[in-house]
Amino acid sequence: MAQSSVKMDPVKAAGLLEKWISFYDMNNPKAWDKDEYGFVKDTCKAMQFAAQALRGKGGAAKPAQRQEAAAQLKDWVEEYEMDNPANWEKENAQFVKEVVQAIEFAAAFLRGK
């Protein structure tokens, strides 16, 4: 994926993750197919955890918990092909692009990189 001019920082990344959760109604099991929602719910929790960590909240998480959340975020990008701009709705393209960057930033942060 080509580098973008969007400057990512912990606060911006956390805000984008929370905006994504809200935009796609990830806290609402009725908004998703039943067979899909387990993965959505796990990803939502990982995004919430990452947003807290990016803001320096939530206490000291265990390294394994941070690694699991980072892996879940990356799985979300792959599962929903968020890293493929050809699959994005034109009107949401900039938002998706920024959220992908936020996810990559958050995953690296959680892995300690």
Tens-place pLDDT, residues 33-75: 999 999 999 999 999 999 999 999 866 778 899 999 999 999 9
Number of domains in the chain: 1
1 located within any domain: no
Give the model's pLDDT for residue 4: 47
3 belongs to a structural domain = no
Query: Which residues constitute the domain of residue 70?
Result: 10-111
Amino acid at 38: G
5-25: pLDDT as tens digits: 568 999 999 999 999 999 999
Classify residue 39: in a domain, yes or no.
Answer: yes
Indicate whether this model's pTM tops 0.85.
yes
- For residue 62, being part of any structural domain is answered with yes
Give phi and psi for 93, each to the nearest 5.
-55, -45
- What's phi and psi for 85, nearest 5 deg? -55, -25
Name the residue with tokens 């879940």: 72
Q: What is the rounded CA–CA span in Å between residue 113 and residue 96?
A: 23
